[in-house]
Structure 1
Amino acid sequence: ICVSLLLAKMSFTDDENIVTQDISSDGKAELAGRVKVDIKNDPNAPLEKSKFIVMLKLTGAGFSKARPGLDLVMVLDISPSMLGEDKFGKMKIAAKFVIKKLSPIDRLSIVTFDDDAERLFRLSVVTKESQKKFEDQVQALVVRCCTNIIAGLETGVKVLNERSVTTRRVAAIMLMSDGYHNRAGDPSKFVVKNYPVYTFGFGADHNPKVLNAIACNSLGGTFSEVRDPDNLSLAFSQCVAGPLTVVAEDLTLTITQDESTIKEVSAGNYTKPEDIEDGSVTILFGDLYDKEIRNITVTLCLPEITSERRSNVLNIQYTYRVGGKLFPADPLSVLINRTKKYVKRVIYELMIEEKRYWITQMITIAIVAAEDNNLEVAKKKLNEAQTLIDKVDFPNPLTEMLKVEVQQLLTLLKTEQTYKARGRSFALSSETSHNRQRYATRGDTGVRLYSTPRMDKYLKEAKLFVENPNNPLPTADENEKEELAADPLGPIAGALSYHIWTAIRSLMAIDDIINKSH
């Protein structure tokens, strides 16, 4: 309580001013196509009352030469347990990797916590000069007593909440801890509504339940399990690659039934059963990274009809922001043919997504059973998941990685001791990653589920950086220049595709009206 009162008296409105780059005056043209929507479904359905599934695939499309700047707060554990296995030294290297990746449009603040929390730097613009100051400050860190995760979180959130400059900014918190909270309060109940909190369980003695809960209680955060201290830089690299490639902010999807009834919507933990109201569901995804994907499956009940006709079964609307400017995309509809001579068609992408959904559900059930010390039920459920994967007729990278993940979970569930010592962290990280459909590091299995091209690039860079932290490292802006040189049309590809498909859909709608009139 004393810490909270002291923090409340402090002001963090001293964030360094930064000139934000405005998007073009032709705002709508600049904003269009940041999110690509693909719809997968059977084009036909019978006249009888029937179940019908629609899959929506939302992809962060293209990159931009004018990305929003990142306001990042690194919250670092400096408790005495960090001395073991040279974890303190490994943390410093990982923090330096993040510092070196940031560019002059980004700002950084570093918060440390032990018995209390301390903001080492105000939210400052990352220049070549300030990078050196950040690195020197990190290098000078020393361990202190206790582990007050709540104090670290409160301070990190306060830094972001009290910013003076928020236009064209995305924000994130990276929190790393290797131990258990041992001060008053329960950090697992700490809720961060406006920003993602990416948590990292470092070493063998962290508290996975608490760190996972903190991530889940934030907007889009994930929990990464980093058992081997040598892998912390790799985990940090994967995390920072996301906020540095945000293409759409506040992504919101609304789906509404039409000549159908929505029975279920599956979108990870972005939705709940009670979210279906009056035949409509609105899903809040937060930020979307370049090439990051959100899959949504909608289960409909089609009513019985007496004659063949075209039927509009679902309406889709989505909006997002770029630099504070709202882009309402043109609405979409799912039109199908209700026919007497119906032959079910196998939709490959839909089949794979259904498999992924059921496998992740089985993983969740297995985790619940393991937490209840019922390892036999947990292993049985994972074996069922393994069987489901083996039955996939068309092996693909997704199912192959799911197979590796399930096998690793089975290994970590051999005994209750193994699960508590190693399996719980891996399992919770896996569950949250699937629920978010966002990459999170888990162990050293090489499972790359939900990773993006920039994450893959940063992984290679981080491996080289760990070998020699003094080697030069390209900033995020330099990475963008490389991507632009390799794909000059990249920044306009999304908008171009959006407008082409909008025109095609308009022509199809006109054709549909003409056919109905005849």
Structure 2
Amino acid sequence: MQVPTEQIKDLTLSDKDETSHLVTKLKLHSDPKKSLLIASLEPPRQPSIPVHHVPCLIVLVIDVSASMSRPAPVPGDSSSENNGISVLDLVKHTARMIVKAMTEHDCLSIVTFAEDAQLLQPLVYMTAENKMTALNNINGMCHQSKTNLWQGILTGIEQLRGVNSNGQAPAVLVLTDGEPNHMCPDGGYIPNIQRMLPPAITLHTLGFGESIKSGLLLSIAESGLGNYTFISDSGMLGTNFIHAIALRQSTYATEATLQLRYRPETHIKEVMGTSVRSRNAVSFMSSSGHRMMQLDIPLGNLQYGQSRDIVFTNPGSEPTVTVEATVRYKPVLHNSAGNYASTTADPRAKPTMSEANVTYHASRALLCLVLSQLFPLNKQMEHAFSVKRLAWAKECIQKLMERLSKFSDPLNKSLREDLGGQISAALHDWNTFRRWGRHYLLSQLSAYKMQTCNSDKDPGDKDPEPLKYGRDSPLLDACRKRLATLFDTLPSPKPSCWLPPDSQYAKEGSFDMSSYRKSSSSRGSIQKQQVRRETVGGRLIGNGVRRDPRNGQVCSFEQNESRDRDLSRRSAVARHSDCTRSKRVRAKSVLRS
């Protein structure tokens, strides 16, 4: 089967037919001792033809509510001097990077939302002329009020509804920095999204800052078989967006679904954690008259060079029972007609997965299971954290680290270091968990389950080679480097926040944009968290407890936080009253004179 000619650039004719061998390999690995069954899907490492990137249909849905106008200081700048850049300025710079990275084979649409949604740009091919229009539209973005997330998502999905995506990877990327507070849909987000979202479209969410509703954002991403990414601060916005786009540009196939068929006595169950897409197996009668079970696992997109490994429990011990596995998917470059490919595997064959790899995937599955139980689904199908399970989750993570200590291979080492680093820090105490840990853990749940890399630090940020997911994909690496170069070299955005005339940034007029994609404030560091315990409202003396310096009383974090907010409001009122009083005095003085 041939790749459409319009998608091939700078190739010789002999290159255009070498695609027939590019199929996803499917293997079943059984481990009777651990009662585990692992289904491994291995897409091709790279396209057989040297493509710039996989053509994409991308819809950017961007929050432009008032909170997006807050300053985004240069990460790691000890002076903490305001450079005049707002969060929205930084997002606009990132959007310009995406436009510059696209070719005439890509399509882009831009939707903004605040009190209502606005179609800033319809879905068009990124020709030179349309790129100029897109850049002008991006420059015209300005902050407004409220956060109507639903209208933003609805308008974004509508741009791809009915569009022929053959030969392109369609995706909706939603960025927000706050909780939705206007016109939320009746019946909840998830049922409505699942009803209206076409199967070929993936939906991805990016949450910026600590005021977001991460449980909702993860559920939205799960409903669209996409990724949820927590952007902790301005220093991670660039790198998180770079990875989000690079993953789309290295898509091998869309609409992937794994199907298992087996006898009821095998009792197979997926153990990757509960999501809004989780379904129970259904029974059917085979052509031979036997009762069989069928379990369908929707996987979404497959990326070049990155396996997808799904772990199941398999307590059935009968050696004569066969499990049939089938994967169906729609290759982007190599199947323009839209036909699905299928293959089967037999778990009775000699397993080829090493003990270290089995341990890694089993541990990864257990981590996903623990996090999904720490954030169970509520009635609205949104992940909501359970305070009662916090201590239990910490204990599970500790036991998992002890199990992994027996292995020194790169995969298990990176997982162990991630568990002992950022993940343990996120669970360290109630204050840390409540402030940023819950957002980070939900993002990690998405990354480990989907086996995708959200940033240069995920997973295993202490490992010399932290990019465990996608490390075998030359195309992903090339796309990532190309986007990073564009982000760094594009002219820095024009500041929208007020700058003092004697400011360093006001004098220089520009600054190094690479600072916005290389670092974070390292919020996962327990040591830094302990340094930050001296707060305006008092000294933190335990898990979510601190002493109020105003009266010496020990009270909960919520009580102190409420008092701090009340004190801040009264201080603001007092300042306003003082200002008004001063104006009246000056006015009386003028009248007397």
Taking structure 2 as the reference length, the TM-score comes to 0.65
Query: Hey, what does 2:217 align to over in structure 1?
Result: 211
Q: Distance in 2 between matches of 1:73 and 1:247?
A: 19
Please, which moves more after superposition, 200-209 or 423-432? 200-209
Q: Distance in 1 between matches of 2:251 and 2:21?
A: 15
Deviations 1:188-223 (A, max 9, x none): 4352433221111112322222222221221x2111
C-alpha contact 1:92 1:139 (8 A) present in aligned 2: yes
Q: Distance in 1 between matches of 2:354 and 2:415?
A: 23
Q: Which among 73, 79, 83 is matched to residue 69 of structure 2? A: 83
Shift of 1:155: 0.4
Counterpart amino acid of 2:367? I
Q: Distance in 2 between matches of 1:443 and 1:304?
A: 43
Shift of 1:388: 2.5
C-alpha contact 2:273 2:370 (8 A) present in aligned 1: no
Q: Which runs of 5+ in 1 are unaligned?
A: 1-17, 306-310, 338-344, 472-518
The answer as to 2:19 corresponding to 1:36 is no
Structure 1 residues 103 and 267, CA, compared in 2 at 3 Å: closer, same or farther? farther
Shift of 1:264: 2.5
Query: Hey, what does 1:500 align to over in structure 2?
Result: none
Shift of 1:151: 0.9
C-alpha contact 1:97 1:233 (8 A) present in aligned 2: no
Show the 5 A alignment for 1:137-156. Answer: 137-156=137-156
Query: Hey, what does 2:469 align to over in structure 1?
Result: 450
Q: Distance in 1 between matches of 2:248 and 2:160?
A: 15
Q: Distance in 2 between matches of 1:183 and 1:440?
A: 29
Q: Which among 356, 360, 366 is matched to residue 352 of structure 1? A: 360
Q: Distance in 1 between matches of 2:61 and 2:43?
A: 28
Q: Distance in 1 between matches of 2:40 and 2:468?
A: 16
The answer as to 2:219 corresponding to 1:200 is no
Counterpart amino acid of 1:214? I
- Give the match's secondary structure for 1:333: coil
Q: Distance in 2 between matches of 1:442 and 1:214?
A: 24
Shift of 1:152: 0.6
Shift of 1:463: 4.5
Shift of 1:266: 4.1
C-alpha contact 1:262 1:279 (8 A) present in aligned 2: no
Q: Which among 72, 94, 101 is matched to residue 58 of structure 2? A: 72
- Give the match's secondary structure for 1:161: coil
Query: Hey, what does 2:122 align to over in structure 1?
Result: 122
Deviations 1:496-517 (A, max 9, x none): xxxxxxxxxxxxxxxxxxxxxx
Shift of 1:464: 4.1
Shift of 1:301: 4.8
Structure 1 residues 260 and 207, CA, compared in 2 at 3 Å: closer, same or farther? closer
Structure 1 residues 347 and 240, CA, compared in 2 at 3 Å: closer, same or farther? same
Structure 1 residues 255 and 33, CA, compared in 2 at 3 Å: closer, same or farther? farther
If asked which structure has higher relative contact order (CA below 8 Å, sep 6+), I would say 1
Show the 5 A alignment for 1:258-407. Answer: 261-266=266-271, 272=278, 274-275=280-281, 277=283, 278-301=292-315, 313-322=322-331, 323-336=336-349, 347-367=355-375, 371-374=385-388, 375-390=390-405, 392-407=406-421
- Give the match's secondary structure for 1:279: strand
Please, which moves more after superposition, 248-257 or 58-67? 58-67
Structure 1 residues 395 and 365, CA, compared in 2 at 3 Å: closer, same or farther? farther
Shift of 1:383: 2.0
Deviations 1:55-94 (A, max 9, x none): 2211221433477632110001111111112211110111
Show the 5 A alignment for 1:115-264. Answer: 115-163=115-163, 165-186=164-185, 188-189=189-190, 190-192=192-194, 193=197, 194=199, 195-218=201-224, 220-257=225-262, 261-264=266-269
Query: Hey, what does 2:530 align to over in structure 1?
Result: none
Query: Hey, what does 2:586 align to over in structure 1?
Result: none
Taking structure 1 as the reference length, the TM-score comes to 0.73
Q: Which among 433, 437, 440 is matched to residue 451 of structure 2? A: 437
- Give the match's secondary structure for 1:371: coil
Q: Distance in 1 between matches of 2:257 and 2:7?
A: 24
C-alpha contact 2:271 2:369 (8 A) present in aligned 1: no
- Figure out how many residues of one structure are paired with residues of the other and give that number: 431
- Give the match's secondary structure for 2:61: strand
Q: Report which of the two has the higher share of helix.
A: 1
C-alpha contact 2:113 2:149 (8 A) present in aligned 1: yes
- Give the match's secondary structure for 2:70: helix
Counterpart amino acid of 1:295? D
Counterpart amino acid of 1:275? A
Q: Distance in 1 between matches of 2:361 and 2:281?
A: 21
- Give the match's secondary structure for 2:122: coil
Counterpart amino acid of 2:62? L
Q: Distance in 1 between matches of 2:323 and 2:308?
A: 18
Counterpart amino acid of 1:347? E
Q: Distance in 2 between matches of 1:56 and 1:127?
A: 42
Q: Report which of the two has the higher share of strand.
A: 1
Structure 1 residues 364 and 201, CA, compared in 2 at 3 Å: closer, same or farther? same
C-alpha contact 2:356 2:407 (8 A) present in aligned 1: no
- Give the match's secondary structure for 1:88: helix
Query: Hey, what does 1:99 align to over in structure 2?
Result: 99
Query: Hey, what does 1:14 align to over in structure 2?
Result: none
Q: Distance in 2 between matches of 1:167 and 1:319?
A: 16
Deviations 1:257-307 (A, max 9, x none): 3797243234565874622532332322222111122112344455568xx
Q: Distance in 2 between matches of 1:441 and 1:188?
A: 27
Alpha-carbon RMSD: 3.5
Counterpart amino acid of 2:325? I
- Give the match's secondary structure for 2:87: helix
Shift of 1:115: 0.8
Counterpart amino acid of 2:328? T
- Give the match's secondary structure for 2:230: strand
Deviations 1:93-148 (A, max 9, x none): 11112212222111000001111111111111012332232122212211112111
- Give the match's secondary structure for 1:281: strand
C-alpha contact 1:267 1:295 (8 A) present in aligned 2: no
Q: Distance in 2 between matches of 1:303 and 1:422?
A: 44
Q: Distance in 2 between matches of 1:455 and 1:228?
A: 24
Counterpart amino acid of 1:247? Y
Structure 1 residues 420 and 403, CA, compared in 2 at 3 Å: closer, same or farther? same
Q: Distance in 1 between matches of 2:208 and 2:318?
A: 56
Structure 1 residues 354 and 276, CA, compared in 2 at 3 Å: closer, same or farther? farther
C-alpha contact 1:20 1:167 (8 A) present in aligned 2: no
- Give the match's secondary structure for 1:55: strand
Q: Distance in 1 between matches of 2:357 and 2:166?
A: 38
